[in-house]
Amino acid sequence: MTLEREIVLDGVANELRGFAGFVRSLDARALDVLTRCAGWTVRDVASHVVGTVVDVAAGSVEGQGTPPVTERQARERRTLTAAALADELDAALPTLQSLLESLPSDSWDGPSLLDPAFTLGFSVEAIWYDAYLHGEDIRSALGLPPARGAGLRCAVHHVAGYLTQRDWAPTTLLLKDLEPVEISGGGTEWGGDPLELVLAATGRLDPAPLGLDPRIDVYGGF
């Protein structure tokens, strides 16, 4: 289930501000480190996040999240420094915030223009989820400890939303430091680490040792 509108709007803004500050702190060597995103460096991952914000703020939402668009976002920024990437994100964020805040609250649970299988709120929440998850890709590549808190909570709810839309087996997630989260209305209980769940559900961690169905990858289909 998508989180409440105000929580998501605040979460998007806070996550992206934090992402900009994090990227700004990286040196040139760090930008060239390969990540677990196949073939992508830290710079490429950061460029995708920045490019998404710039595109959406400009009203360009078609194809967001598809390989051609993500590749373009990375390719267009492959010569940028960490400071330049952070500056571009900081410059686009106020416009994005204004755009998201202008979306009618009574449309939050209505169909998304990007994919009517999901709600408008889910599509907005995806910006937060994507920035958090890719921030973790960068942290992992650089050997930094993971970030937890609001971004991780968002990621768990977002993954649960994907799985519910795909009619995953009814499951109630009882995860450390989080409220119960239901998939497909709730059912069999699964407890564990929330970050491990998110990584397994996005193809970044083997689900088998966690006792999860290997088909749980939300990007791999089932």
Same domain, 142 and 177: no
Q: Is the pLDDT of residue 221 over 60?
A: no
Give the pLDDT score at 222. 39
Nearest-5° angle of CA 117, CA 44, CA 75?
90
Q: Output the six-digit token pair for 103.
A: 């979306």
Q: Is the pLDDT of residue 114 over 80?
A: no
Q: What is the mean pLDDT of residues 194-205?
A: 96
Beta bridge partners of 170: none
pLDDT in tens, 47-96: 999 999 999 999 999 889 899 999 999 999 999 999 999 999 999 999 99
Same domain, 83 and 190: no
Cβ–Cβ < 8 Å for 157, 178: no
Q: Last residue of a domain, which of 83, 113, 147? A: 147
* Long-range contacts of the stretch 22-27 (C-beta < 8 A, 24+): 22/135, 22/138, 23/50, 23/82, 23/85, 23/86, 23/89, 24/82, 24/83, 24/86, 25/82, 26/82, 26/142, 27/82
* Long-range contacts of the stretch 204-213 (C-beta < 8 A, 24+): 204/36, 204/137, 213/169
Same domain, 142 and 77: yes
Give the pLDDT score at 1. 67
Q: What is the mean pLDDT of residues 111-134?
A: 92
If one counts the domains in the chain, the total is 2
Give the pLDDT score at 28. 96
- For position 67, which CATH number holds? 1.20.120.450
Task: Tell me, yes or no, whether 155 lies in a domain.
Answer: no
Q: Last residue of a domain, which of 122, 147, 172? A: 147
Same domain, 96 and 130: yes
Task: Tell me, yes or no, whether 60 lies in a domain.
Answer: yes
Same domain, 207 and 112: no
Q: Which residues contact 209 (CB under 8 A, 6 or more apart)?
A: none
Same domain, 105 and 48: yes
φ and ψ of 171, to 5 deg: -140, 145
Burial class (CB in 10 A: 0-12, 13-18, 19+), 67: exposed
Give the pLDDT score at 50. 98
Mean residue pLDDT of the chain comes to 95
Q: Output the six-digit token pair for 100.
A: 């998201």
- Domain containing 177 equals 160-222
Task: Tell me, yes or no, whether 75 lies in a domain.
Answer: yes
Same domain, 130 and 168: no
Same domain, 170 and 138: no
Q: What percent of the chain has pLDDT over 90?
A: 88
Task: Tell me, yes or no, whether 221 lies in a domain.
Answer: yes
